[in-house]
Amino acid sequence: MNIRKRRLLVALASLLGLYGWPIARASRLDAQLAMNKIINARPVEDGGILLDIPPLIENGNSVPIQVEVLRPMSSSSYVRAIHLVAEENPLPNVLSVYLSPQLGRAKLATRIRLATTQRVWAIAETSDGTFMRTYANTTVTTAACFEG
């Protein structure tokens, strides 16, 4: 089978949902499980986090994302961890960062890959064991992970 024929077959198979994607792609359930594992049945409140991600993304291979948890950073009370979870990525866990009061502000900026249009969650854990979470919706026109 030549390469062109093979590519055509692969394209057809992916249209029918038979190739690559269904095996590698995570479901929302996987993302939910990943979040449950992070939160581990402790109390969660919605909000308290600024999650800045472009609403329209041309290139899913490099998506600028900024997170700020609106909590003071003192030695007695601080943000211990920030996690990012992408619902439709092949692996929903995107990033986990463990912080300390020395940082002064619970603010991070990085660049991530997004496989497709989806919801991205930011989850923060404070030193007293409570959690906060928020999400943002994004539209991705060129996917990461499977191409380029």
Partner 1 sequence: MAKTSRTRILMPATARKGETIEITAIVQHDMETGFRRTENGELIARDIIRDFQVLFNGKEILRAEFHPAQSANPMMSFNVLAVQSGVFEFNWRGDNGYSATNQSTLTVTQ
Point out which residues bind partner 1 (CB under 8 A). 3, 6-7, 10, 20, 24, 61-63, 73, 84, 86, 89-91, 93-100, 102-105, 107-114, 144-147
Indicate the residue among 6 and 28 with the shorter CB distance to partner 1.
6
Whichever of 3 and 41 has its CB closer to partner 1, that residue is 3
Contacts of 71 (CB under 8 A, 6+ apart): 48, 77, 78, 79, 106, 124, 126
Cβ at position 108, least distance to partner 1 in Å: 5
CB of 24 to partner 1, least distance (A): 5
Nearer to partner 1, 68 or 131 (CB): 68
Question: Which residue number, 34 or 132, has a Cβ lying nearer to partner 1?
Answer: 34
- Smallest distance from the beta carbon of 33 to partner 1, in angstroms? 15
- State the minimum distance, in angstroms, from the CB of residue 144 to partner 1: 8
Nearer to partner 1, 69 or 132 (CB): 69
Q: Residues with Cβ < 8 Å from 140, sequence gap 6 or more?
A: 57, 60, 63, 114, 115, 116, 117, 118
90/70 Cα distance (integer angstroms): 30
How many CB atoms are closer than 10 A to CB 137?
11
Residue 146 CB, shortest distance to partner 1, in Å, is 6
Q: Is 89 exposed, middle or buried (0-12, 13-18, 19+ CB in 10 A)?
A: buried
Q: Answer for the pair 122, 133: CB distance below 8 angstroms, yes or no.
A: yes
Could you tell me whether strands 131-142 and 56-59 are parallel, antiparallel, or unpaired per DSSP bridges?
A: parallel
